[in-house]
Amino acid sequence: MNIRLTDLGEHNIKRKLINDVIRKYFENYEYGDATYIEIDNKLLVTSCDGYVGSSWLLPFMTWEDVGWKVCSTTISDILVKLARPIQVLVSINIEGHRLYSELESIILGICKFCKEHNILLGKLDLNESSEFSISACAIGLGTRVIGNIIRGRCVLYTVPEFGYTGIVFKLLELNKLWEYYNDPIVRKGVEILRRPRPPVYMLELSEDIVSGVEASTDSSDGLGAVLWSFAENSKCTVRVVDAPVPEEVVDFCRDLKLSVEEVVFNGAEEYLPVIALRENVGELKVGDVKFVPFAYAEPSDSARVIYGGRVLAYRGWEYFRR
């Protein structure tokens, strides 16, 4: 097929590869955050993430942030499946002209993350390359398989902290980040992007809530991407009732004339869980973390995401799109 990857975009590339190639060999293959292996009555959960410096590094990140973040993003995929992370493995491709101190800082970030979250550091792979890139794999221990497909009517829950990273990305796009860099709202978004905190509170959900989880994922690619993925994979309509956004984000966007919808649904890298429950349980708290119902999904003839009485514009965070 002589179509350039940039003409397809990441979302369509994945869908075509699954339908055209993978399912000819593995007919039940489902693309998701994590995969499962059952061994001796133990359910292992695995995931991996990789990043290329030119399209991933942000101007305010340190090398130590890089090491921390690649672990956090991969571990997040394990946690949203309600599984306990056990080990992380990291592969680094780095240019020969880099300083040893830069590589040392990356490893320091990895070690600090693993130590803080009581996770073992497994194999550390190192290669010389013409461009910096880093990948991490994670292994966890789960109790049951949780996918990304919604069956029947469900209520979608999340932590209402969207918009902070979207504001930072929007300001970067407008070349205004440094103008507002010291604003508390912007600083919060910067800190999330530098060192995202994995949703360890997912392991504290009560058993009755866990048993009612139909699907679960995180917002690494943006909330809009999550909702459209649910809709397309599940052949359902997702209706957003309330955007899960703090009032201070709304106020900031109003002052700077930024679109609240844009920063909430087309931001990315918040790593907030989005879970589908089979029934509405009202407001849900886990320690200091509050989950709120913000949308519901129901079977339909076509995949749609509705917000404010109209179809939500899909963009999300995609590579292979120029």
pLDDT digits (tens, 9 = 90+) for 285-307: 999 999 999 999 999 998 999 99
Q: Closest Cα to residue 218, out of 167, 171, 157?
A: 157
Considering the chain, what percentage of its residues have pLDDT values greater than 70?
A: 97
* Mean of pLDDT values over 248-277: 96
pLDDT bracket for residue 7 (50, 70, 90): confident
* Mean of pLDDT values over 202-230: 93
Q: Closest Cα to residue 109, out of 134, 85, 131?
A: 134
Q: Is 91 exposed, middle or buried (0-12, 13-18, 19+ CB in 10 A)?
A: middle
Cα(100)–Cα(221) distance, integer angstroms: 32
pLDDT at 52 over 80: yes
* Mean of pLDDT values over 250-258: 97
Q: Closest Cα to residue 134, out of 172, 95, 90?
A: 90
pLDDT bracket for residue 264 (50, 70, 90): very high
* Mean of pLDDT values over 59-83: 97
Cβ atoms of 214 and 153 closer than 8 Å: no
Cβ atoms of 296 and 232 closer than 8 Å: no
pLDDT at 63 over 90: yes
Please state, rounded to an integer, the average pLDDT across all residues of the chain: 93
Angstrom CA distances, 161 to 74, 171, 289, stand at 20, 18, 10
pLDDT at 314 over 90: no
Cα(62)–Cα(248) distance, integer angstroms: 28
Q: What is the pLDDT of residues 80-139, one digit of tens each?
A: 999 999 999 999 999 999 999 999 999 999 999 999 999 999 999 999 999 999 999 999
